[in-house]
Structure formats: C-alpha cells, structure tokens
Amino acid sequence: MKHPFRRPAHLVAVALLALLPACGSGPTTPVGSPATSGTSPAVTTNAAEPSAAAAADGPCALLAAAEVSEVIGAHDGGRSAGDAQDSACSWTATESLASVLVGIGAPGTAPDGTLPESDFANTQPGPNGIRLATGPGIVAEFAIGNRACQLHLTGKGESETATVVRLVGLIRDRQK
C-alpha cells in the first residue's frame, strides 16, 4: 500500500515544490489578510482560527498564520503542493531556516487509524497515538481517520515535542 511521504527524500521534494512561487496553488495571502500590491510581506497577522470546514481547502488552511508565527516567527504564509488525495503545506520563516511542513496522506494510508511502518530511524511513541522521530528537526507521524499524516518542524531544535504535539492536536480537530 502506498504511504504518503514514505521517504524523507519525498518529503524534501514536496517541501521544495511547495516553496516554488510558480507552483503555489491559490493565494499566498491568508484568508482575512488584506491584499497588497507588489512583493508580499511576511505574514505576522493574527488570522482567525481555521474552522473544521477549512480542511477542505487543504493543509494550508489547517493552521492559522498566527499559530505558525508563534512557532517559527514571521513566515511566507504557506505554500501548498500535491492534490486533494495526498497534499502538503510548508511554511518557511523569513528570518531563519525554521519551517513547518504538514502532510495529509491519501485515504486508506492508515487503515483503521493504524500508521504504516516508519522509514525514520529512532522513532518513539508519543502521546495520543503520535509517533515521533528526530533529525533534522522533529517529525510527528499521526493518523486522522484512515489517513497517515506527518508534521515536520525544523530549525527550532529537537526540544519542540510539546509544540509539535499541540499542532497535531489542532490539525486533527480541524481535519475531521
């Protein structure tokens, strides 16, 4: 069975694609932010919390700009990649190498909520059915229904487990 984002190299490729402005799908300005002409400024606004219905808009709608800013500081507003079945969103800090990547797998990639075997070395069980891996950054593998998902936090050190677990909780609540 195909697992979304099975290989770290695949995640890197998805993240790089997500960062290419020409490949972005949809607006790069978060919903509720004023449109600007010319170069888009870094996102630092306190965007409203995304609703569960926002999940239909893809992974970029699952975290508010302010929630991402709390973790990595000013960022690019999020760039999406993939399709409705297997998609990702990457937010990249404008003043550091920090980033957040959310990957939502295709239906059936986590049958009965069971994650497939991890390709990451040194995984450990985390709270609420989350599987954690480190290096570089921290990776949380988790299921939402029958979809295998991942959240990567890089550039903020490996002591960000509580932050990753909190973000996974927000994503799960909104992706239902």
What DSSP element (H or E) covers 87? strand 87-92
| 113-124 confidence digits (pLDDT tens) | 999 999 898 899
d(CA 54, CA 64): 10
Structure tokens at 20: 């290419």
In this structure, is residue 26 part of a structural domain? no
Q: How many domains does the chain have?
A: 1
In this structure, is residue 119 part of a structural domain? yes
The answer to whether 11 and 119 have CB atoms below 8 angstroms apart is no
Predicted TM-score (pTM) of the model is 0.70
Give the CATH number, domain containing residue 73.
3.40.1000
| 75-99 confidence digits (pLDDT tens) | 999 999 877 667 999 999 999 989 9
| 28-81 confidence digits (pLDDT tens) | 333 333 333 333 334 333 344 444 444 456 899 999 999 999 999 999 999 998
The answer to whether 175 and 144 have CB atoms below 8 angstroms apart is yes
- pLDDT at site 174: 93
d(CA 16, CA 132): 22
In this structure, is residue 64 part of a structural domain? yes
Structural domain range at position 65: 8-20+52-175
**Count of CB atoms situated within 10 Å of the CB of 83:** 10
In this structure, is residue 63 part of a structural domain? yes
In this structure, is residue 159 part of a structural domain? yes
d(CA 19, CA 143): 25
